[in-house]
Amino acid sequence: MITLTGKKVSEGIVIGRLVFFNRGEREVRRIYVEDAEKELVRFQKARVRTAEELQELCEESAGELGETNAMIFEVQQMVIEDDAFLNQVVRIITEQKLNAEYAVRESAREFLKTCGARPESYVRGHEADVHDVVARILRILSRGRKDRMIMDEPFIMAARDLYPSEAVRLDKTKVLGFVTMYGSINSHTAVLARTKGIPSVIGLGEALKKDYEGKMVIIDGFDGKLYIEPDQTTMEKMKQKKQQHMQKVETLERLKGKENITQSGQKIEVCANIGSREDIERVLRSDAGGIGLFRSEFLYMETPGRLPTEEQQFQVYRLAAEAMGAKKVVIRTADLGGDKMPEGMEIQGEANPMIGYRGIRISLDKREMFKTQLRAILRASAFGNLQVMFPMITSIEEVTEAKKVLERAKAELKEEKTAYDENIRVGVMIETPAAVMISGELAREVDFFSIGTNDLTQHTLAMDRTNRKLTGFYNPYHPALIKMIRIVANNVHLEGKHISICGDLAADTDMTETFLQMGIDELSVAPGKVLPLRKKIREIR
């Protein structure tokens, strides 16, 4: 038995024969043409036909995957309309008098080298989409047929890489799963694999050899592994793992696509909380209405001794935005401090770190670090429905100062001609009694609220929730806390604003009916809690 390890893209266990996908790469030769105008017309016709095929593909995939996921082909539409790409093709054909195939290939290479290297470029991280478009244009120019994968029996597909237009056409009745030598978990292909529920592992490298063609293999999408010619013990173990997974899936699938609505007709949004890029896949599987809380501080603790750069943060936020499509993604700015202090930023001499130097206080004290994060969030807002939220607020002045830093970040990006959502929604966390008492005034300053019940409870009760000695005293259902939530909800609704609960109490199904009676607009919970919460909501009379 041979075991290969790559990057998990879509979870699941599948067993079958390995078949390598042959795309039928077309040879591109450099040919001198006498009539450049005629060659230019030939290219323009191929470009128009490419646009038509992409539109057909978008409409076709919208029926299966929904309009949000079908929109990924807009990137390819943008490529064939991009002046930088098109002008280069025209120059090669008209000035160098070379054939359209060669012009397209060389222009794409130059396009990726220049545009793909810019952090703000729409093709950065989506190079496969450019290659996909080029392959389509070349096929049309050569009058070739569309590539198809024809097999009599279901199989596991292997490939060097896989283009989005190929991934969207995968027939789940034939393609059990796929593995690739290369690829990115941020790619549209990865998003499509998750959306279609096709177990897959990418990035296996050169270890994925053509010699394995026809061999029996197992994809373990949970651990990112490919077992080639598995032994009997591994086979039995994987079959058992697959059976357990299928039982869970069958139970959850019955609730997917259902509304979060009570039997009396009252609706409430259910979103998911995440702390890393790895959690995004879980949100997609959970059928959540969006990401109600992205705990961005965990990005600051991934690399000990080094804070994340603007570019590193941007890539993660962009991934979340693109993966969720039209659904919202609320990014809480770094709630550092207390028990979430990155290595190298430790604060000495704090007797009570949970009520000390943390949250918005650190952000306003370290404004350049704060502005770096806000720039990353703003840049990513051009790729989806991003919202920004400030933690540990205790005063109007803190919100005012935070918004000033946000405006400075906007001004810088505007001067740099970098795209961002100029009307990005701004919210605050309600985690302190002070914020509860001024929630009416805060509601006139921001667009939405989220109640963090974990911190609000310990600050209200003056108890460290992690102290085992206080277990008998700590009451997450304390009447004072429930009254505070009700006060905030009333004040926020008086101003016509949106309010959610994102702490642990949001997932407590014993409290669901109470929150509905308060008129809470949204509950944001761990991805694994989304469907159980939906079940509870739908049972309430």
Show binding-site residues.
295, 332, 431, 454-455, 465
Q: Is residue 188 annotated as part of the catalytic site, yes or no?
A: yes
CA distance 41 to 99: 11
Report DSSP state, residue 182: S
Structure-token match 């509870």, residue found = 536
| Residues pairing with 18 in the sheet | 156
Return the H-helix or E-strand segment holding 429. strand 425-430
Q: Which of 188, 245, 271, 459 is catalytic?
A: 188
Binding region for Mg(2+): 431, 455
Q: Which amino acid is at 20?
A: F
Structure-token match 């545009």, residue found = 115
Residue pair 185/205 in contact (Cβ under 8 Å)? The answer is: no
Return the H-helix or E-strand segment holding 219. strand 216-220
> Which are the contacts of 278, defined by CB distance < 8 A and separation ≥ 6?
none
For residue 93, count other CB atoms closer than 10 A to its CB.
Answer: 24
Q: Is residue 478 annotated as part of the catalytic site, yes or no?
A: no
| Residues pairing with 98 in the sheet | 32
Three-class secondary structure assignment of 327-359: CEEEEECCCCECCECCCCCCCCCCCCHHHCCCC
Binding region for phosphoenolpyruvate: 295, 332, 454-455, 465
Contacts 24+ apart (CB under 8 A), 303-306: 304/342, 304/343, 304/344, 305/343, 305/344, 306/344
* Half-sphere CA count of 253, side-chain side, radius 13 A: 7
| Residues pairing with 226 in the sheet | 4, 219
CA distance 433 to 95: 71
CA distance 30 to 33: 10
> Annotated catalytic sites, by residue?
188, 502
